[in-house]
Amino acid sequence: MLPPLKSLLKPRLLPWLFLPGGLFSVMIQAQWAWARMPMPADWKDPTKWTWELQSPRTWAFSLVYDRAAVLGGEWWRLWTGNFVHFSWSHCLLDTGLYFLIGWTLVYNYKWWLNVFAFALMPLAATLTIFIFDPAMTSYGGISGMNVGFLVWLALAGWQRSKRDWFWPAFLGIHVVELVGEALSGGRGGFMVPFVDPNIRVATLAHVGGAAFGIVMWGVVNLLGKRVHHGDIS
């Protein structure tokens, strides 16, 4: 379940750790949107309205996961690529869920565990693509990370009570979306549209995130009370 609303009145229980990532994601999307706007002299040319990942007008291109660039030594893309999205709906839906997840994690677990998860969950998603899907040249989105966090929270919720279906319901929506995207061609549009038809849904990123979510649930069980907040009332 979500934390009680009164926790929002306690600054130390707000998702400060997740706030920079969410704002970073929105800033990147705004920059993508600006880069796709035509220059004044080109506004009558419809080709100027098409999505161009390599647009020189956008610094966000240096952050998206790009396999060739990673192989060329730009390793940061394995982490920053998770915060790049391919439409405003893609960005806002992912980021909104990301904040809810962050609020819940900060409420339940100590800061150092959240830092550990926040640092490694993005790599779990992109390294799975990098190793097992060499045909995927570009990737972006928090959803692979979100699925990992959802698996963790769902397992933790069920461990407390089999009636806790809040986070499993969100996880189920993601599964339905992935299946629907696969059945409709995997190019976006089933639930979340992409502005570029060449972008395909990265199923393996969600698998990698889910696997790391199970690892985090195991870590929590292994460390027990040491990772939970004491008195959070």
Whether 125 is in a domain gets the answer: yes
Domain that holds residue 102: 16-36+55-227
Q: What is the domain count for the chain?
A: 1
Whether 80 is in a domain gets the answer: yes
User: What's residue 62's pLDDT?
Assistant: 84
pLDDT beyond 60 at 94: yes
Q: What is the pTM of this model?
A: 0.85
Whether 77 is in a domain gets the answer: yes
DSSP symbols for 50-119: S--TT-TT-GGGGTSEEHHHHHTT-TTHHHHGGG--SSHHHHHHHHHHHHHHHHHHHHHB-HHHHHHHHH
Whether 9 is in a domain gets the answer: no
Whether 4 is in a domain gets the answer: no
List pLDDT tens digits, range 52-64.
444 444 677 788 8
Distance CA 164, CA 223 (A): 22
Average pLDDT in the chain: 83
List pLDDT tens digits, range 130-185.
999 999 988 888 999 999 999 999 999 999 888 888 999 999 988 888 888 777 76
Whether 116 is in a domain gets the answer: yes
User: What's residue 13's pLDDT?
Assistant: 80
Whether 3 is in a domain gets the answer: no
Domain CATH for 148: 1.20.1540.10
Distance CA 130, CA 138 (A): 10
List pLDDT tens digits, range 11-42.
878 888 898 888 888 888 877 666 555 444 44
Whether 201 is in a domain gets the answer: yes
